[in-house]
Structure 1
């Protein structure tokens, strides 16, 4: 198949390159000249404008967006809309909020343009290992795009699927990322407990390798933890600051809206927020309260 790819950052360029490697033609646009130049090295045909990209694609056109969630997606759609025609398709492969996706799908349907959301997991390893794709959209449209998803997935018959109508793909990916938060937090806490048992002098990298084979806690995240511990056993030079992409927050908010108890995901998100407090007023007040009611000593800065 032939398609356009908007956004040639690392993820978008890797996805486009995987498609090219499997026989698809990809015309790519990115506002950054360096991104376009790097993409060209992977067999992607770079263009300098959306208009050029649309002109080079045969009808009905397929355009895949890999742009940041929120306003950038709306702006990109607004720029594309006058240049597209009925029967064309836009795929959003980024981490958009699913309610925004539903809204955009409804609006585009009025213009006869299909909107497909592909929740995409795989990170920097996707180019070689394939991507996990949670696809939302009209069943007939998704079936027509099947060769694209089969090429991006680890195999044609696994690692991807249509999970529901437009919005369902991003909803599923949102929950996926919430689960990921909880799993990562559990691994981090467990290794921190073992690291603190100094008298045992545990080799955390060795333990991670043991757990990777046969253990009930084995996973790709554990594989990555083992890699990190091998490269930097003491985590030297790494600041204790954990970012979040926003999907964990959306998952927690959705759990509250649906009256679903999700304490592990919620606490893992709060721990990420806590990691950013270099000077925690709350912790200082806790220490002061202990001194007030119990006479406990306060440690000075």
Structure 2
């Protein structure tokens, strides 16, 4: 099959390369000339504009968006809409908010264009290992694109599927990322406790590799943790600042809206926010309160 890939950043380019490797014809566009050059080196045909991209695809066209969530998605759709025809398919493979996806899907449906949301997991390892794909949208449109999803997934019959109507793919990926926050936080805290227990002289690399085999906590995230410790056992040069891209916040908000208790995911998000406070006023106030009510000593900053 042929497909247009809009957005040739690292993940978009990797996905395009994987599709080409499975015999699909991919035409890619990115506003950055360097990104287009790098994609060309991966055997991806590139276009200099969205107009040129669409012109190189035969109806019924398939356009896969790998652009930042939010206004960029809306702007890209607005630019594509006059160029598309009834029966074309637009796929959002980024981390859009599922409510935005439902709105966009309804709007495009009014023009006879299918809009699929594809929650995509796999990161930089997807090119080699395949991607986990959670797809929302019209069932017939998903089935028509089975060859594309099968090529991107770890195997034709594993790691992908239509999970529901428009918005379901991005909703599922949002929850996936919320769970990921909690798992990462648990690993980080456990290793921090072991690192602090200096009297036992634990080798964290050794422990990580032991846990990779047979342990009930073994996982792909643990594999990546072990790799990180192998490369940098003391984590030298890494600032204690953990960013978030939004999905954890949306997951917590959804839990509140649905009256679902989600303390682990919520606290893992708060810990990420806390990591960015180099000079925490809250911690200073806590120390001051302890001194006020209990006479506890305050550690003075230098």
Where on the TM-score scale, by shorter chain, does this alignment land: which range? over 0.9
Aligned partner of 2:124 in structure 1 is 124
Aligned partner of 2:52 in structure 1 is 52
Shift of 1:168: 0.2
Aligned 1:234-273 pairs, distance under 5 A: 234-273=234-273
Aligned 1:282-293 pairs, distance under 5 A: 282-293=282-293
Q: What SS does structure 1 have at the residue aligned with 2:116?
A: strand
Shift of 1:268: 0.1
Indicate whether 1:133 and 2:146 are aligned. Answer: no
> In structure 1, how many angstroms separate the alpha carbons of the residues matched to 2:205 and 2:255?
35
> In structure 2, how many angstroms separate the alpha carbons of the residues matched to 1:230 and 1:206?
9
Q: What SS does structure 1 have at the residue aligned with 2:60?
A: coil
> In structure 1, how many angstroms separate the alpha carbons of the residues matched to 2:106 and 2:29?
25
Shift of 1:111: 0.2
Aligned partner of 2:281 in structure 1 is 281
For residues 25-59 of structure 1, the C-alpha deviation after alignment (integer angstroms, 9 at most, x for no partner) is: 00000000000000001110011100000000011
Aligned 1:46-195 pairs, distance under 5 A: 46-195=46-195
Shift of 1:21: 0.2
Aligned partner of 1:23 in structure 2 is 23
Shift of 1:270: 0.1
Aligned partner of 2:207 in structure 1 is 207
Q: What SS does structure 1 have at the residue aligned with 2:299?
A: coil
> In structure 1, how many angstroms separate the alpha carbons of the residues matched to 2:12 and 2:146?
19
Shift of 1:185: 0.1
Aligned 1:219-234 pairs, distance under 5 A: 219-234=219-234
Structure 1 vs Structure 2 CA RMSD:
0.3
Aligned partner of 1:11 in structure 2 is 11
Q: What SS does structure 1 have at the residue aligned with 2:133?
A: strand
Structure 2 length normalisation: TM-score?
Answer: 0.99
Shift of 1:143: 0.2
> In structure 2, how many angstroms separate the alpha carbons of the residues matched to 1:123 and 1:257?
29
Shift of 1:244: 0.4
Aligned partner of 2:34 in structure 1 is 34
Q: What SS does structure 2 have at the residue aligned with 1:241?
A: coil
Please list every run of 5 or more consecutive structure 2 residues that lacks an aligned counterpart in the other structure: none
> In structure 2, how many angstroms separate the alpha carbons of the residues matched to 1:107 and 1:21?
34
> In structure 2, how many angstroms separate the alpha carbons of the residues matched to 1:42 and 1:259?
47
> In structure 2, how many angstroms separate the alpha carbons of the residues matched to 1:131 and 1:203?
33
Aligned partner of 1:196 in structure 2 is 196
Q: How many corresponding residue pairs?
A: 301
For residues 247-296 of structure 1, the C-alpha deviation after alignment (integer angstroms, 9 at most, x for no partner) is: 00000000000000000000000000000000000000000000000000
> In structure 1, how many angstroms separate the alpha carbons of the residues matched to 2:41 and 2:265?
40
For residues 75-94 of structure 1, the C-alpha deviation after alignment (integer angstroms, 9 at most, x for no partner) is: 00000000001000000000
